[in-house]
Amino acid sequence: MTVQENSPPLDTVDLSIPLDRIVAALKASRDRARTLTPRSAYARDLPNPENAGRVLKELFAALFPRHGGGQDATDKGIDYFVGNTLNSALRQLRGLLSQELRFTFALEQRADTAIEGIVASITHDFAERLPHIRESVILDARAAFDGDPSAKSLEEVLLSYPGIKAIYYHRVAHQLFRLGAPIVARIVSELSHSSTGIDIHPGAEIGSSFFIDHGTGVVIGETAVIGERVRLYQAVTLGAKRFSVDESGALVKGAPRHPIVEDDVVIYAGATILGRITIGRGSVIGGNVWLTRSVPAGSHVLQAQPIADSFEAGLGI
């Protein structure tokens, strides 16, 4: 339907929409959904992804003020910008953490009197780890610059490479995950996923100088362990081979089920590595390889070479 030039504004048009009936139906749907979760865990106020996105943007500006908006060239001016921006980001993060813990405490039927103390502790410990996060991201950016002949500067890498954005988000999410905020951590990782096409679970352990080239379609599972100076290309999967179930048939949560990738490994585009296997130090995994067994250090795993042959005058067809 197109709006005619002389049509009245949309908000004054009577579209005969039965809002009362739709609102009632939506309420009934919410009531049905609550039966899937214990009533004690019902919460109206949950962490908002848009708020988490603002926190990430401000944290990046505080960690990298020249790249994130700190315009004053003096050290004093930059320090003021960093302090002010960091204060804003941490206050917003504290609000997200409070929302998560109110939900999880209700789910576990725990008294909420301890929430504010736990939130304060997580926020404090996370803030203390920010210098480490910055140093790690700088090493990641350096690995990208050294490993990509098209990169002209570290600034270009930090500002524009999706792999660096994804690993920055992951290093933030991983610390929150370890500190006891898995919901906020997962929101952060999914913001990265939707923005970059790179899906890294916040539980994955990733060493320094990590480089994802191009990046689109990379998947790294929750229990994956990645060493130092590892390089991945697009569409690499570090996934689970199978999912264990308990006696009732429910999935077993948290069991190690993703690969261990040791130091100095290169995994080329489209490779799929599944299960709790180990890729030995210094190995090279070729493009489109499907791997479900461990390989020793220094391995080179490639696709099988096709057998060349020719057919003439219809022979062999």
Checking if the pLDDT of 69 tops 90, the result is no
List, in sequence order, every residue forming a beta bridge with 273; answer none if it has no partner.
238, 291
Band of residue 75 on the pLDDT scale cut at 50, 70, 90 = confident
- Residues 131, 203 contacting (CB under 8 angstroms): no
| Mean pLDDT score, 137-158 | 95
**Candidate from 14-18, 174-178, 195-199, 306-310 with smallest mean pLDDT:** 306-310
Per-residue pLDDT of 96-126, as tens digits, reads 999 999 999 888 888 888 999 999 999 999 9
Checking if the pLDDT of 316 tops 50, the result is no
**Mean pLDDT for all residues in the chain:** 89
> CB neighbours of 287 closer than 8 A, spacing ≥ 6?
233, 268, 269, 270, 271, 303
| Mean pLDDT score, 219-243 | 96
> CB neighbours of 97 closer than 8 A, spacing ≥ 6?
119, 122, 123, 181, 184
Checking if the pLDDT of 213 tops 50, the result is yes
| Mean pLDDT score, 287-296 | 97
Band of residue 44 on the pLDDT scale cut at 50, 70, 90 = low
Higher-confidence residue: 113 or 305? 113
| Mean pLDDT score, 274-303 | 97
> What are φ and ψ of residue 3, in 5° steps?
-90, 125
List the domains of the chain with CATH numbers.
Answer: 44-197 (1.10.3130.10), 217-304 (2.160.10.10)
Checking if the pLDDT of 271 tops 90, the result is yes
**Candidate from 29-33, 193-197, 281-285 with smallest mean pLDDT:** 29-33
Band of residue 172 on the pLDDT scale cut at 50, 70, 90 = very high
CA dihedral 262, 279, 301, 222 (to 10 degrees): -100
Checking if the pLDDT of 1 tops 50, the result is no
User: Alpha-carbon distance 88 to 82, whole Å?
Assistant: 10
| Mean pLDDT score, 32-43 | 63
| Mean pLDDT score, 191-203 | 97
Checking if the pLDDT of 45 tops 70, the result is yes
Say what the pLDDT of residue 5 is.
55
**DSSP calls for 211-246:** EESS-TT-EE-TT-EE-TT-EE-TT-EEE-S---B-
